[in-house]
Structure 1
Amino acid sequence: MKLCRFNDNRIGVVRDDQVHDITPLFERFGRPGWPYPAYDWIVGHFDQVRPEIDGFLPGAQRTPLAEVTLRAPVANPGKIIGAPINYDDHIAEANADRQINHGKHFVSLDKLGLFIKAPTSLLGPDGAVQIPFPDRRTDHEVELGVVIGRQARRVPRERALDHVFGYCVALDMTVRGPEFPGFRKSPDTFGVIGPWITTADEVADPNALDLDITINGETRQRSNTRHLIFNVQHLIEYASAMYTLMPGDVIMTGTPAGVSPVSPGDRMVARVQGLGELTMTIAR
């Protein structure tokens, strides 16, 4: 199932070229009261409405996909977690390029750890990436995004996928510089996800997905998630040893080699096999 958020915070299921509005299925839950939940409200309630969706869809209001405005499919992630160096070819690339490494030497993910992108960096297909420092290099990084579906704390690797709600295309936009990654990767609009969430039951193996990105029609990155150093299960185990993962938290799993600068007006088209195509522009 492909779950999207569209127009004025409507909740939809994407089938072929149509968006089926399933917002009424969530209306009985009302709006969350104070204190607000520490998780995404849609993802947190999805299991309760899922058995009703197939029966509801034939009578649901439908709109052509081309006529809706897609928003970030997770409205309120408590955490956006990044894996800074999780492909061997990107480690080699980073160590060879001083504009990326700024004098640091990258060895492996377990020596560097993960980082948190600010939730306010979240952006969906409806926006444009804003470059905060025009005099500094800003790079694209295409990644597989993993959306957590239920609370996870100290989850062993063999049970990690039980906690996954679904997957999406992700862009971990990055300003190059000497600062910590949590600063350089957290500007507004730098946490891009979309175009929707494909639920976990439709992805046989998240560690065997092609991914690529083109900039103005030119392919810059192309790889497969089988080359992840920490695969999806390992990342969830590693992250949940440090943080309590909550429904709607997003893990960006790392980017392969081929990162390069983007400029105002550039058009980025990112794809992950079976998860759709995410088209973004760099704001002028």
Structure 2
Amino acid sequence: MKLCFFNEGRFGVVEGDLVKDVSSVLDRLPNFRPPLPRFDPVIAALPELLPAIRDAAAAATGVPLASVRLLPPVGNPGKVVAAPVNYVAHLDEAIAEPETFSAAHVRKIQESGLFLKATSSIIGVQDPVTLRFPDRRNDHEIELVAIIGKAGTNISEADALDHVAGYTLGLDMTLRGPEERSFRKSIDSYTVLGPWLVTADEFGDPADVEIFLEVNGEHRQKARTKDLILSVRALIAFASSFYTLQPGDVLMTGTPEGVGPVRPGDTIRAGVERIGTVEVSVTGA
């Protein structure tokens, strides 16, 4: 099942070229008072909501997908956890370009660990990436993204995928420079998610999925997730050895080789197998 938020916060199911509005299902969510939860209420309740979502979608009249504005598929993530340099060829690329990739940040992922991005950097695929510092190099990074569905800490690799609600496409936009990685990657609009969440049961095993990215029609990145240094399972286990993962947490799994600059006026076309293909515009501040 493909789940999305669209227009002014409507909740929908994507079926082919249509969106079925199932927002009424959200009336089943609990009303929270402070202290507010650290998780996303929709993702946390998804296992219980899915039967009602299916019923509502079956009864709904769809509207054309092209007529709606898609929002990020997770409304309230507690954290964005990201994997640096998690493809072998990208590690080699980074080592070979010290003028672009700071040596302090080019280490094996097992040594450098993961990093966090500000949730305020998240946008949907129909919003533009706005370059805050267009005079500096700003790079694209296409990634498969896992959305955590069940809380856990010290999760084993064997159990890791049981904690995934679904998957989406992600762009981890990056400002190059001497600042800390999470600081440069947390600029407003520098985490693009969408176009929807594909539930884990429909998506299947993430171990061998193709991802690609083009800029203005020029091929830049293409790889399969079988080439990850740490697999999705291993990343969940690694992250949960430091953090308690909560429903709605976003796990960006890393980008392959071919990382390159974008400039105002560019169009990024990116795709993830089993999810879809999107076009994202780039503007200046």
TM-score, normalization: structure 2? 0.96
Q: What one-letter code is carried by the residue in structure 2 that aligns with 1:114?
A: L
Deviates further, 16-25 or 52-61: 52-61
Q: Equivalents in 1 of 2:220, 2:272: separation in Å?
A: 14
Q: Equivalents in 2 of 1:95, 1:2: separation in Å?
A: 38
Give the fraction of aligned pairs with identical amino acids, expressed as a percent: 44
Q: Equivalents in 2 of 1:227, 1:66: separation in Å?
A: 34
Asked if the contact 1:95/1:105 (under 8 Å) is kept, the reply is: no
Asked if the contact 1:2/1:196 (under 8 Å) is kept, the reply is: yes
Q: Equivalents in 1 of 2:153, 2:11: separation in Å?
A: 28
- CA RMSD for the aligned pairs? 1.2
Deviation at 1:105, TM superposition (A): 6.8
Once superposed, which parts of structure 1, at least 4 consecutive aligned residues long, lie more than 4 Å away? none
Deviation at 1:89, TM superposition (A): 0.5
Deviation at 1:126, TM superposition (A): 2.8
Match of 2:5 in 1: 5
Asked if the contact 2:29/2:41 (under 8 Å) is kept, the reply is: no
Instruction: Count residues with an aligned counterpart.
Output: 284
Q: Equivalents in 2 of 1:191, 1:55: separation in Å?
A: 33
Q: Equivalents in 2 of 1:40, 1:212: separation in Å?
A: 29
What CA deviation, in whole Å up to 9, does each residue of 1:190-209 have, x standing for no partner?
Answer: 11110000000112220100
Q: Equivalents in 2 of 1:124, 1:131: separation in Å?
A: 16
What CA deviation, in whole Å up to 9, does each residue of 1:197-227 have, x standing for no partner?
Answer: 0000112220100000010111100000000
Q: Equivalents in 1 of 2:278, 2:39: separation in Å?
A: 24
Match of 1:160 in 2: 160
Asked if the contact 1:131/1:283 (under 8 Å) is kept, the reply is: yes
- Are 1:275 and 2:275 an aligned pair? yes
Q: Equivalents in 2 of 1:41, 1:256: separation in Å?
A: 32
Q: Equivalents in 2 of 1:141, 1:86: separation in Å?
A: 12
Asked if the contact 1:99/1:176 (under 8 Å) is kept, the reply is: no
Secondary structure (helix, strand or coil) at the match of 1:66 reads helix
Q: Give the 3 Å change call, closer, same or farther, for CA 31–99 of structure 1 in structure 2.
A: farther
Q: Equivalents in 2 of 1:245, 1:30: separation in Å?
A: 21
Secondary structure (helix, strand or coil) at the match of 2:159 reads helix
Secondary structure (helix, strand or coil) at the match of 2:168 reads strand
Q: Equivalents in 2 of 1:134, 1:56: separation in Å?
A: 45
Deviation at 1:106, TM superposition (A): 2.7
What CA deviation, in whole Å up to 9, does each residue of 1:62-86 have, x standing for no partner?
Answer: 2110111100001111111110110
- The 5-angstrom pairing of residues 49-64 of structure 1 reads 49-64=49-64
- The 5-angstrom pairing of residues 93-172 of structure 1 reads 93-104=93-104, 106-172=106-172
Q: What one-letter code is carried by the residue in structure 2 that aligns with 1:33?
A: R
Provide structure 2 residue ranges, at least 5 long, that are not aligned to the other structure: none
